[in-house]
Chain A
Amino acid sequence: MNGSIGVYVCECGPNIKDRIDIDKVIEEISSKEDIKTIKRFSLLCSNDGKKFLEDDIKKEELTHVVVAACSPKDHEKTFMNVCGKAGVNPYLFQLINIREQCAWMIPDKEEATSKAIKYIRAGIHRVVLHNPLEKIEIESNPDVLVIGGGISGLEASLSLAGKERKVFLVEKTESLGGMAKKLSQLLPHQGANLSTIEEKIKQTEKDENIEVFTSTEVTDVKGFLGNFEVSLKADGGNGEEQKIKVGAIVVATGFRLFDPKEKPQYGYGKIENVITALEFEDMIESGKILLKNEKPPKSVALINCVGRDDKGYCSKVCCLYSIKFAHHLKDKLSDVEVTDFYIDLCLPHKDDQNYYEEAKKKGIHFLRTGEVKIEEKGGKIEVRYKKDGKSESISVDMAVLAPAMVPGEDTSKLAEMLNIPVDKTGFFKEVHEILDPISTPIEGVYIAGCALGPKNIPESIVQSQAISGKILSSLIPGKKIEPEVKVSVIREEFCTGCQTCLSVCFYGAISFDSFKGVSVVNEAICRGCGSCVGSCPSGAIWSKHFTYPQLYQEVLAALK
């Protein structure tokens, strides 16, 4: 056997000592295995224990170390650090869990001891095949590309740009501000007025560390965290190509509104004075809430959930802005009758319900119904609905539809370019819905705001700030990045070029070299999950710390 292996058995106080016959373990292993030394210690993770381990590794001049103790979750890092200090590569080490997997779960001492011996034997046969792995460092570019100049993109740009970090803000249309700029006013309890947004646009335009590209599209993205190369095309994608280099990418491409024409029952586009929420925002903005005949409406129906059933989700913000419209109508046209048709009132913020109660006090009618149908009758609009199981209707001058929020039109194109997933609703998909709602599987690519799904303005801003946090803590100017070392390797001579591995790689770390006809792993992106290893029909992919010979010998020794 090559090298000098040392085995250390931790007593873990009484936890291992009382339930496993350590003397028998030592006798069995030292008599049957080719090792330099085997020793026991009362508590290896204690300061005394770590000191003992470090000194003994040096004294015995070991090349490989096996520790039989607790779960790797508890102390794998601890002992890897000790190995490093003692001059042994931390990957020439194996921790065997004889506490949780033997001592604590097998009541019979003899049985527990025999299992511990098998485990330790397996570890010895595995560790001898370990390769020393070294951390690599890659230069990284701290600059950031922000795609989308709406409220999320503006916030991300402003919080990221600084002396040592440049931001490239790319906007498809000719001006910054996005959807928020189309609104007449913000919700009074969520922010006083739109000047905050105007202010952010001005700040962005004059910030010397932010370069703004309007009427520009992203046409290609290559590379990985710290080293992306991005192609931009001006004039709506028809102009000259320009290449920029960035370390991270923020996607803040926003949303569109569901087209009510897809649902003929609402009569949009056919019946006069049936308008969308955005059209009503324009009326508020211009100060003229007028019917087609230039007269102010005497009665208005606000229709929520337009397209909710078709899209399969609630857009969260529509109930609230319909209530905003109701307030506005009552404030401007005091004798107007306003009826708000809803299926469920979705008012999830702590200040929302109060806003609704105030609307009721102003005399606005709220009608809980199923879907409604709009027809024209005698030059007026008839809204048909069901209440308490009975069909009813009211006649109004104007109907304002609140359509669902749907994914931006470039979502799938961008997703393909960036190699990130979209979900069943067509919005970008977060890497983990709960723990990491702003990251994607591709390190260094983040999503903010409504590009991920419907949300309100403060929530979109918060997501952008959270992304800033991610970038500020991971892409520090002047600091190199250290990718995972336990990555996959492709043995070219065995690769048949079937490309199965490309389809299973969650992180986009594998590409295909069509000249050589083989798959290639980018070690800077690979996280060592092993999916490609298992999927490769020719066994051409190995995981650096889980090679087939290592696993084979480990299993063989355990079963012996």
Chain B
Amino acid sequence: MKKKDVLVIGAGIAGMKASLMLADAGVNVHLIEKESLIGGQTIKFEEVYPNMECATCMVAPIQQDVLQNENIELFLLSEVQKVDGSAGNFKVKVSKKASYVNPDACIGCGACYEPCPVSLDNEFEEGLSQKKAIAIACPGALPNVPAIDPEYCLHLNGKKKECKACQEACVFNAIDFTDKDKTIDLEVGAILVATGFDMFDLGSLDQLGYGKFPNVYTAMEFERLYAQNGPTEGKLILRDNKDLKSIGIIHCAGREEQGYCSGVCCINSMKFSYFLKHRISDAQICQFYKDLCIPGKTHQKFYEDIKKKGVEFSYYQNIKVESKKGSLHIDYKNGNGKQESFSADMVILSPAMIPRKETEQLAKILGIGLDESGFFATQNEQLSPITTEKEGIFITGCAEGPKDIPESIAQAEAAAGKILSSF
């Protein structure tokens, strides 16, 4: 008998939207997420173009719908281990890591964080802040249930067996140190991949000074820095506490190395300028670009509005970030071929979007190929960017290549549509 269940890998915006559409049609969805929260990268954004809506707030109702939908079974801290079979009859093995917190008992009050004696870098906050060994990623994270990092927890890693500070603080008996990693077997008819993207490693571009000079930030770090629910609660505090008066935003970091334009960084960088001008009206801001790739029907207007606000735009070649007398300098060749320099208190780099590091491994498990850039390969010759060489397996969102949120959602819903019309 053909299975009508669907496996969705990744609970970012694409995975969530696809899951909801399938669930609405009465399909049983098994949604696998590697992290302990859902929402993916979108929830890291304080605001998104074009309406400058708070992304966290915009996505929260979708997250709630996913958590409350009876047709969606969510597996957090989980990864796909093995896939056998073919369209209509896939047999899937999922490994689920222990969270050591019983989600049915936990109400998310947060009483367990404070007593925990261990602090570690918070990856969700791009390492800009610390979290405890038992924590949620950021205020407002959903589900509002923490997980314990067994590598750092003193009780679980055996460094101080008697530490049960979180368990003692929890009045709901939600902490369960006996929780074990599990393997789950699923049978599904179709598989939808929505594993998203990573950011280009800027440490490999020495000339841009990331990691060398404290006030050089990645775009994602800046997103968290100005997020109200971020590590500084939205205050623009530089790593060296310097006053912020001039900002250089460098586009296309890693574009040449990757061999493609990511399509979204120009407008995202303009969003930063919009925000910065709003916050520090006399700030001197210059955006250094190679090509302005702003293909949306409202994007160009936004660009012109920002220029009117006094944000400068300069074409660049051969760019280099230097530190002279405690101040950052951006040295570059402008559109007329002249050597110029811009002095900045802060430099924000817009890196290329690249395939997630697990992509190759997952492609092997699924039995599908990769394209030249390392993203999942799809059937371009069929004019279909979401189907793969293997029937019943679909690729959506940034797992297929860089794209913006609406395009990711369209692909996710398209894959769900394809699955529904095949059932």
Contacts and interface: CB of A to CB of B under 8 A. Distances in A.
Contacts of B226: none
B372 interface: yes
Given A159-B421, A476-B25, A433 B402 contact: no
A476 B26 CA distance: 10
Interface in A434-480: 434-438, 453-454, 457-459, 461-470, 472-474, 476
Interface in B245-300: 255, 259-264, 291-300
Contacts of A427: 297
Interface string B50-91: 110100001000101000100000000000000000000000
Contacts of B406: 430, 433-435, 437
Instruction: Place the interface of chain A in its size category.
Output: 35 or more
Interface residues of B, number: 70
B409 A465 contact: no
Interface in A22-66: 43, 45
Interface string B14-41: 0001000110111000000000000000
B385 A473 contact: no
B111 A352 contact: no
A293 interface: no
A560 interface: no
Interface string A215-230: 0000000000000000
Contact of B261 (A159, A352, A437, A462): A352
A418 interface: no
A159 B386 CA distance: 14
Contacts of A287: none
A192 B304 CA distance: 38
B382 A191 contact: yes
Interface stretch (A11-19, A90-98, A130-138, A277-285): A11-19
Contact of A461 (B111, B335, B383, B415): B383
Contacts of A73: 64
Interface in A350-388: 350-354, 357, 368, 388
B416 interface: yes
B117 interface: no
Contacts of B375: 350
B289 to A, nearest CB: 8
B419 to A, nearest CB: 8
B411 interface: yes
B139 to A, nearest CB: 12
B260 A354 contact: yes
B293 A433 contact: no
A468 B371 CA distance: 27
13 contacts: A13-B171, A160-B421, A313-B301, A344-B291, A344-B294, A354-B372, A433-B50, A435-B62, A438-B413, A465-B417, A469-B415, A469-B416, A473-B21
Given A434-B406, A462-B410, A468-B418, 17 more contacts: A14-B109, A162-B421, A191-B380, A313-B298, A353-B260, A388-B336, A424-B301, A433-B298, A433-B406, A434-B53, A436-B409, A453-B297, A458-B384, A465-B415, A466-B411, A469-B417, A470-B417
Interface of B: 17, 21-22, 24-26, 48, 50-51, 53, 58, 62, 64, 68, 107, 109, 111, 171-172, 255, 259-264, 291-301, 304, 315, 335-337, 371-373, 375, 380-386, 401-402, 405-407, 409-418, 420-421
Interface of A: 12-15, 43, 45, 73, 77, 159-160, 162, 186, 189-192, 196-197, 308, 312-316, 344-354, 357, 368, 388-389, 423-425, 427, 430, 433-438, 453-454, 457-459, 461-470, 472-474, 476
